[in-house]
């Protein structure tokens, strides 16, 4: 892992890094007494590791809850070149949307392929982050991210025992994700935009129901795919605080 520029503001240290061909960002509390819990924050489809919403949430998690947060660009997203195959999937999706044909089969193929590639990248990122003294091998690790980030996160969790809690949801559901949910037993907070016009509500309820976790909760909120109320991120942060049993900045 090569660390690039690094800035400090409002008690948050932000540094860019690159690991192989994967660029990422790490946000950590500037002053900490003990390694903070680490939240891996995935970005949505078409977005990237520095999308404004993600950055705002990451900085808030660090400043308010004392977490560290890491984000990486998914294959073909952000600073990473999009392969010819990925370009074809994206073109097919847009064509399907415009002509009113079902996008489901294309999303399942494209997201499935992205997830296959991203899983190893996230695992290598965890390896590298655990080498840093600010993180270390003992910090509890959570995963957070909706839509594409959930399509990547669910299969990732099934093979990565270091992730011990996750916030997911708002995702287009296909068989691989249902199968992953059934294998997952870590605590889950599932976010469901109740008025999502792109994703059938019942498939979200079915996915939540499929998780094998003893502790899981579903938070459904009014609004569509990209209209999550701002308090949802704070409730998600408190979910991680409950799971990790500690937080540098807040008590629950």
Q: How far is the CB of 239 from a copy of itself (least distance, A)?
A: 8
Q: Which two tokens stand for residue 179?
A: 């199968």
Minimum distance from residue 222 beta carbon to a copy of itself (Å):
5
Select from 56, 87, 91, 194 the one that contacts a copy of itself (CB under 8 A): 194
Residues 207-236 that bind a copy of itself (CB under 8 A): 208-209, 213-222, 229, 231, 234-235
Closest CA to 208 of 93, 105, 141, 199: 199
- Picking from 67, 1, 65, the residue whose alpha carbon sits closest to that of residue 38 is 67
Least separation in angstroms between residue 197's CB and a copy of itself is 15
Provide the 10 A C-beta neighbour count for residue 59. Answer: 17
* 201-210 and 175-183 helices, crossing angle to 10°: 30
3-state secondary structure of 97: helix
Angle of CA points 36, 247, 124, to nearest 5°: 30
**185 lies in the site for a copy of itself, by CB under 8 A:** no
Q: How far is the CB of 206 from a copy of itself (least distance, A)?
A: 12
The verdict on 198 binding a copy of itself (CB under 8 A) reads no
Q: Which residues bind a copy of itself (CB under 8 A)?
A: 194, 205, 208-209, 213-222, 229, 231, 234-235, 238, 242, 252
């Amino acid at each position: 892992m090569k660390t690039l520029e690094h800035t400090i503001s409002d008690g948050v240290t932000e540094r860019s890094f690159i690991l192989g061909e994967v660029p990422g960002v790490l946000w950590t509390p500037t002053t900490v007494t003990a390694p903070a819990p680490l939240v891996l924050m995935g970005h949505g489809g078409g977005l990237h590791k520095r999308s404004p919403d993600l950055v705002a949430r990451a900085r808030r998690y660090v400043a308010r809850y004392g977490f560290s947060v890491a984000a990486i660009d998914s294959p073909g997203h952000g600073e990473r070149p999009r392969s010819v195959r990925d370009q074809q999937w994206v073109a097919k999706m847009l064509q399907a949307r415009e002509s009113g044909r079902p996008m489901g089969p294309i999303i399942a193929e494209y997201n499935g392929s992205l997830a296959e590639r991203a899983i190893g990248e996230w695992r290598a990122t965890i390896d590298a982050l655990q080498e840093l003294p600010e993180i270390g091998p003992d910090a509890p690790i959570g995963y957070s991210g909706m839509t594409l980030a959930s399509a990547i996160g669910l299969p990732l969790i099934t093979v990565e025992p270091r992730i011990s809690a996750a916030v997911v949801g708002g995702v287009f559901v296909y068989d691989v994700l249902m199968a992953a949910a059934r294998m997952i037993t870590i605590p889950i907070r599932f976010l469901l935009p109740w008025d999502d016009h792109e994703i059938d509500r019942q498939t979200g309820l079915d996915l939540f129901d499929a998780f094998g976790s003893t502790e899981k909760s579903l938070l459904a909120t009014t609004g569509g795919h990209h209209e999550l109320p701002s308090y949802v991120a704070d409730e998600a942060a408190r979910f991680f605080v409950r799971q990790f049993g500690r937080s540098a900045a807040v008590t629950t």
